[in-house]
Chain A
Amino acid sequence: MTTLFFDEMHDADAGTRTHYGPFETWARGLPPGVMARKRAEADLAFRRLGITFAVYGEEAGTERLIPFDTIPRIIPNAEWKTLRAGLKQRVKALNMFLGDIYNGQDILRAGRIPADEVLDNAQFRPEMKGFKVPNGIYAHIAGVDIVRAGAGEFYVLEDNLRVPSGVSYMLENRKMMMRLFPELFAQQKIAPVEHYPDLLLETLRAVAPAGVDDPTVVVMTPGAFNSAYFEHSFLAQQMGVELVEGRDLFIDHDAVYMRTTCGPKRVDVIYRRIDDDFLDPQVFRPDSMLGVPGLLKAYRAGRVTLCNAIGTGVADDKSIYPYVGEMVRFYLGEEPILNNVPTWRCREKDDLRYVLDHLPELVVKEVHGAGGYGMLVGPAATKAEIEQFRAVLAAHPDKYIAQPTLALSTCPTYVDSGIAPRHIDLRPFVLSGKEVSLVPGGLTRVALRKGSLVVNSSQGGGTKDTWVLENGHAEPQR
């Protein structure tokens, strides 16, 4: 590929961008071998701490480290301010959209989004209709995936409004960097992120059912073999709340209780890290062993708050994604601050024709998919793969959208052969309770294979610490 990538650290003439200046000077001054030693130290510490994720499809209980890269991703303050404003605006609109479609459906009646796109969507939950959630918040925790393209402009790639994960790596990466390189933090003003668990607890407490003054909050996990179990356990510990599984809870007269050593104890807010389908075997999947029978009824009775709410998946589905800009205009009367990636909806005849004609340049994604499995990356695909996908697409056009292949920005990263640019993205975590808040930065994921644009940890991606510089630094000049 001849595409020019935007590099976070170096400009087109291989000069160092201003905001990376102090870091580069520091790195240049390191005696040889120090970095290798620190990287080994980080690996050892992560393993000892058990900061791992379980890998599906391998022997039960297989745990792997997510590779951690010691070169931080640095975001200048002014850029972060724009991102922050854009993220708050976007998540506000998404929450209003969810409240609307499960109640008055104004946006559908106004014809701003085709009604069938929403109502026929498999992620739309009729069980949620006509039911008011506390503060009108559905997506209390959102993990919005952001990428930066060739000219340095940001795009939102995905709004993750169901059970987004990764925040524990953001926090552990920071802890690790501070432990390995304290001098960097003494030297530069790097915005702290460690208060995230406090913000999260505040958010969860703020959406307790009406009339509950001192709510009992719990984190609900599918169990120790879930890929994100470390994070569930970590967040419960950091917030000082119980980590429960479905079997620890039961319902009595529409109230939720947990089984404790002193008998039943009432639960008011559940930060659930388990998909809608598994929450309540009486309503959703009857074979689910992970959920709590009767939970939805208690929820609809307003006796317990679920975070995130049920049915948020309709708003982060790829088929709805193209309309998020419309939501911002419709509900807030503002122009969206953050860009959407131009998207062709294959259900539209004209769009489909264009997509079929340009397959080698495009990324084609399944609308109900997640995790980087059911997609075609045109430029990286063989002729045969493209032809195979063409047939699938022609048969089920409504299941796909297509986007241009974005030249994701790169950041210098340690690889086997030394330091080389690798593609990255950014997942900030947006919390909505009484108000919308977020800690500076987020989780930076990096595709460790050369040329790869897939940053998912399930596909061999790694992570970096993400720094937002506080004021006092010059903005990037080049």
Chain B
Amino acid sequence: MLSRTADHLYWMARYSERAENLARLLDVNYQMSLVPHDAETERSSWNAIIALNSLEYAYAKRHDEATATKVLHFMVRDETHPSSIYSCLRAARENAHAVRGTLTAEMWETINETWLQLRDQSFAEIHSGGIAAFFDWVKQRASLLRGAMFGTMLRDEAFQFIRLGALLERADNTARILDVKYHGLPGAQQSQGDDLVDANDYYHWGALLRSVSAFEVYRKVYRDVITPERVAELLILREDLPRALHSCMEGVVEILDKVRNSRSDETVRRAGQLYATLRYGRMDAIFERGLHAWLDDFIDSIGDLSVRISEDFLVGA
């Protein structure tokens, strides 16, 4: 397929995945802010959202302090920077528009209608309708798009590049959420093996799990109290949890194998190498290296893969 077409599809998928993950994260943070806690905890939890997306500078230019309303406005409806849900959904729609003929009618209609419904809503309107309802709506629209894609699209290259974009973005987002939340939360600094988790921690770790729709999964898998180590293990090493790094990278490797061309050998090799660390890795080794350092490396590797994929496939000869 045309390199430019693949490029638009890939970015369409990345932006819609990003919007969805943002909605998940903000939703959970908002729910958390409703639980009784001190002002400092509240401020730091909203600051973490900004830091998670490396938006400290952009935020500081617009707002002095991180309050729930200000951060929500900034992350949901601020169209003057590219990282808000609004900007992501606009970018997803613009990329889809450029290649609408490659999408099935159901997919295009879904993505177009999402944008049309969002376009004219001010933050005040979104807020008055209930911010939680808005986040639900974003997640539903993402599910609808995914459903339309899996239900109607030919399993051709277009399909593969859409999945590739979504999986890379998801891996990056999960890693970032884990990184920021893990270090911003109580209990994480304690040595592994200490299972003492107070009620407050329970809510925080529960929230992190919920932000990746993994709360019930955790219960099912561990049938035990929530510990930071197991949360990390679940989100990093599980091959059967769709938002776990292992699962994302398995998909990336599989797709790169399908679309490989004469230029892509090195990219395929690096993706395989990264995948192997998840496929054959152990949690104690990751903690030995230090979780933060390990996640940093992982996020860099995803960045490296993105650049290579762009050069190998999306720019064109």
Binding site for B on A (CB under 8 A): 47-50, 224, 233-234, 236-237, 242-245, 247-248, 250, 258-264
Contacts and interface: CB of A to CB of B under 8 A. Distances in A.
A247 B101 contact: no
B316 A248 contact: yes
Contact of B2 (A49, A250, A258): A258
Contacts of B98: 224
B97 A48 contact: no
Contacts of B102: 237, 243
B105 A259 contact: no
Given A48-B116, A237-B101, A260 B108 contact: no
Contacts of B261: 261-263
5 contacts: A48-B116, A233-B101, A236-B101, A261-B161, A261-B313
Q: Which of B2, B5, B94 has the most CB of A within 10 A?
A: B2
B157 to A, nearest CB: 6
Contacts of A224: 94, 97-98
Nearest to A63: B97
Contact of B116 (A47, A233, A260, A263): A47
B112 A260 contact: no
Q: Which of A49, A247, A260 has the most CB of B within 10 A?
A: A260
Nearest to B316: A259
Contacts of B2: 242-244, 248, 258-261
Q: Which of B6, B97, B161, B262 has the most CB of A within 10 A?
A: B97
Interface string B155-173: 0010001000000000000
Contacts of B100: 50, 233, 237
Interface of B: 1-6, 94, 97-102, 105, 108-109, 112-113, 116, 157, 161, 259, 261-262, 313-314, 316-317
A198 B292 CA distance: 58
Nearest to B6: A261
Q: Which of B101, B161, B262, B314 has the most CB of A within 10 A?
A: B101
B175 to A, nearest CB: 27
Contacts of B316: 248, 259-260
Q: Which of A259, A262, A263 has the most CB of B within 10 A?
A: A262
A259 B314 CA distance: 9
Nearest to A50: B112
A234 B218 CA distance: 46
Nearest to B115: A50
A242 B316 CA distance: 15
**For the complex of A and B, 10 pairs with smallest distance between CB atoms:** A259-B316, A237-B101, A233-B101, A261-B313, A224-B98, A259-B3, A50-B112, A236-B101, A261-B6, A262-B261
